[in-house]
Chains A and B, each alone.
Chain A
Amino acid sequence: MPTPLVVSDVAKSFTMHLRDGIKLPVVAGVSFSIKAGECTVLGGPSGAGKSSILKMLYGNYAVDEGQIIVTHEDGLIDLAHASPRTVLAVRRQTIGYVSQFLRTVPRVSALDVVAEPLVERGEEREAARVRARSLLAQLNLPEKLWMLPPATFSGGEQQRVNIARGFITEHPILLLDEPTASLDATNRDVVIELIAAKKAAGVALLGIFHDHEVREAVADRVIDVTAFAPGKLAA
């Protein structure tokens, strides 16, 4: 199986300049890789740095040390040192991301929020909307909501919009930050099916799932993030 993403010796800390410059180490010595067709799960308690790792992989957080090598358009790119333009190209073509919370844009309908990543990849708007409709239907979002901006939706409804948006494209790598946190059992099962379909299609998934049942159902491998606690590095 190909290995589209390799993380080696990554470290991250926050320097709080407004708090007399105290330094908060988050993770150190992060090294792992993910495989195509597998779902790798980041495990460990809250605060262990799971989300921070995902955010570094997506370029939301800067990386202090180490390398994040991703296979992008037949080449290798080190995301830890890539230019903003390269990171944007990687996001468009290679790495998808389902964040924990949906960031809504005023006046844009749920349907278009979901269709947008496909349009950005050059798909016709109408074709993208057709695909968006089928995903929203699969996730049981009531049809009367599709044309409304998601800002006023419930947490579970927003999350389903967010999931549909993340799953609509065929990115070879997909990052999932607690995609099932506010879903009921029926929709949790839909997400499990969607993940299985991505695996079958050869996508490499990396996720955080606090829900034990979901994790059991999707995980091929669990990486214990506490092994990357900053204090452990010296040992």
Chain B
Amino acid sequence: MIDEPLLRVSALSKFYGSRVGCDNVTFDLWPGEVLAVVGESGSGKTTLLNCLSTRLLPSSGTASYRMRDGQFRELYRMSEAERRFLMRTDWGFVHQNPADGLRMTVSAGANVGERLMAVGDRHYGKIRATAVDWLSRVEIEEDRIDDEPRAFSGGMRQRLQIARNLVTGPRLVFMDEPTGGLDVSVQARLLDLLRGLVTDLGLAAIVVTHDLAVARLLSQRMMVMKDGRVVESGLTDRVLDDPRAPYTQLLVSSILQV
């Protein structure tokens, strides 16, 4: 195992005029590690995720990513084309709403195959076979491969989005409320699937969620955000079993018990 982080984030801040998006966020993410970012809506967690995935440029601070050749590259100094390439190959982004991450009017198979073509695959038979394989890994029947995601249920769309993201073998996946808006039974299935894939593939992931149970299940480490700042961070079960910041104590004590 390489003993270097995959992503180094230092003093990252994003201001919208005088409003704070996220303020002075610093952390390292290691290969194979899942980091949950939790907090209420407006806490800055999505702003942070968008800055990290370079969908948004921060006001100040740095983030460097260890490329496949082992060299660290400063994300915000890359060219737009280099960032897009990273996004298409080495990274994935799972949106809360699958419609934001899928092409709704092309077939499920094409949604998965498109990412493969983006990394240079041209052999139709191979692309289709890989697509079938990935659809089965996310538990979508092979006979749905030619259907458009418009005809899929919400849970299926989300699973398709995951397949589309993982097919290129990314090393880092960003997830924005991946189980938000799903029924609990569908959510359980998706969580189980994500957990398995993350472990089997050794993915690093940054998962934004307001659901502490989702964070507990998926992540090893956790950052709690409030008003754009990280108020507490640490091992996920330590933060949840022994919350120290007033805001974390409030969050944890507000969970409904079933």
Could you tell me which residues of chain A, from 104 to 150, have a CB within 8 Å of some CB in chain B?
105-108
Which residues of the other chain, B, contact A75 by a CB distance below 8 angstroms?
none
Could you tell me which residues of chain B, from 174 to 227, have a CB within 8 Å of some CB in chain A?
188-189, 191-192, 195, 217, 220-221
B23 at the interface (CB under 8 A from A): no
CB distance from B107 to the nearest CB of A (A): 28
Which residues of the other chain, B, contact A199 by a CB distance below 8 angstroms?
none
**Once the chains are docked, how many angstroms separate the CA of A105 from the CA of B249?**
24
Q: Which of A58-66, A176-184, A186-194 contacts B (4 or more CB under 8 A)?
A: A58-66
Is the beta-carbon distance between B242 and A84 smaller than 8 angstroms? no
- Known A-B contacts A16-B249, A84-B220, A85-B30; the reply to A62 vs B189 at CB < 8 A is no
A3 at the interface (CB under 8 A from B): no
- Known A-B contacts A84-B220, A106-B191, A107-B188; the reply to A62 vs B30 at CB < 8 A is no
Is the beta-carbon distance between A107 and B189 smaller than 8 angstroms? yes
**Once the chains are docked, how many angstroms separate the CA of A15 from the CA of B246?**
9
B195 touches which of A55, A85, A105 (Cβ 8 Å): A105
Could you tell me which residues of chain B, from 1 to 39, have a CB within 8 Å of some CB in chain A?
30, 33
B238 at the interface (CB under 8 A from A): yes
Which residues of the other chain, A, contact B242 by a CB distance below 8 angstroms?
14, 55, 60-62
A7 at the interface (CB under 8 A from B): no
CB distance from B252 to the nearest CB of A (A): 10
Which residues of the other chain, A, contact B241 by a CB distance below 8 angstroms?
55, 60-61
Give the total of B residues in contact with A, Cβ under 8 Å.
22
Q: Is the interface of A mostly helix, strand, loop or mixed?
A: mixed
**Residue in chain B with minimal CB distance to A63:** B242
**Residue in chain A with minimal CB distance to B221:** A84
B57 at the interface (CB under 8 A from A): no
B253 at the interface (CB under 8 A from A): yes
Which residues of the other chain, A, contact B42 by a CB distance below 8 angstroms?
none
Which residues of the other chain, B, contact A105 by a CB distance below 8 angstroms?
192, 195, 217
A18 at the interface (CB under 8 A from B): yes
CB distance from B228 to the nearest CB of A (A): 20
**Once the chains are docked, how many angstroms separate the CA of A60 from the CA of B242?**
7
B234 touches which of A14, A84, A108 (Cβ 8 Å): A84
B250 at the interface (CB under 8 A from A): yes
A88 at the interface (CB under 8 A from B): yes
Could you tell me which residues of chain B, from 219 to 258, have a CB within 8 Å of some CB in chain A?
220-221, 234-235, 237-238, 241-242, 244-246, 249-250, 253
- Known A-B contacts A60-B238, A84-B234; the reply to A18 vs B188 at CB < 8 A is no
Is the beta-carbon distance between A17 and B237 smaller than 8 angstroms? no
Is the beta-carbon distance between B33 and A18 smaller than 8 angstroms? no
CB distance from B233 to the nearest CB of A (A): 8
B235 touches which of A17, A59, A106, A108 (Cβ 8 Å): A59
**Residue in chain A with minimal CB distance to B188:** A106
Is the beta-carbon distance between A88 and B220 smaller than 8 angstroms? yes
A-B contact pairs, 7 of them (CB 8 A): A16-B249, A17-B246, A59-B238, A60-B235, A60-B238, A84-B220, A105-B195
Given contacts A17-B245, A62-B238, A87-B238, 6 further A-B contacts (CB under 8 A): A14-B242, A17-B249, A55-B241, A60-B241, A105-B217, A107-B189
What 8 A-B pairs come out closest when comparing CB atoms? A17-B246, A106-B188, A107-B192, A84-B235, A61-B242, A60-B241, A84-B221, A17-B249
